Chain A
């Protein structure tokens, strides 16, 4: 079964750091680019970042550039999102998802998400 499972969310204070993980199973992880999206409570989906299959290419949304870092360990089938200098507006459910066809940004599957709350 093709699956992505996020973990690592929690409640942190503004300015703190947090690292999210995304564990993949059921497919050859190293063949696919992986993206992070987020969804603020009651809001729509926002693209956050992507990493290419080999880890050599990374892109970030302007809203997180310089604060978030995406990385992957293909030997462990795991993706990471290091988040620093967190702000209240980073509060959201964070999802990892696979770019199903290289170069075409539609996504499948998605994980169930992990909730990050940034609040004092």
Chain B
């Protein structure tokens, strides 16, 4: 089973700042099959990025994904008030699929 470790656990930023979230895998993620989700309280996750760097439909271009192998990054170029949430990475290159523990992006 691939273990995904997200860092930092909490990221304190101000609106307009850049956010960089990390997801590190315990072994290489096949074909860069990695997704990123945003989750707000009381809501289900929202797909942001799939295949490590492809933006999902309707996702603003301030969200971008990069990486391969064992190291992946979600970047939010300029944080908007609605971006403060918990972010999860998920790999689907190997069975079982696994999620990271999440990074909470909070208002500084």
Contacts and interface: CB of A to CB of B under 8 A. Distances in A.
Interface residues of A, number: 16
B63 interface: no
Nearest to A2: B57
Interface in B64-102: 88, 90, 92, 96-97, 99-102
Contacts of A16: none
B61 to A, nearest CB: 18
B47 A112 contact: no
Contacts, number: 49
Interface stretch (A68-76, A77-85, A99-107): A99-107
B42 interface: yes
B44 A95 contact: yes
Interface in A33-61: 44-45, 47
Contacts of A105: 92, 97
A32 interface: no
Given A104-B33, A106-B92, A45 B47 contact: no
A107 B33 CA distance: 12
Interface of A: 44-45, 47, 95, 97, 100, 104-113
Question: 9 closest A-B pairs (Cβ-Cβ)?
Answer: A110-B44, A108-B47, A105-B92, A106-B35, A106-B50, A95-B44, A45-B99, A105-B97, A110-B45
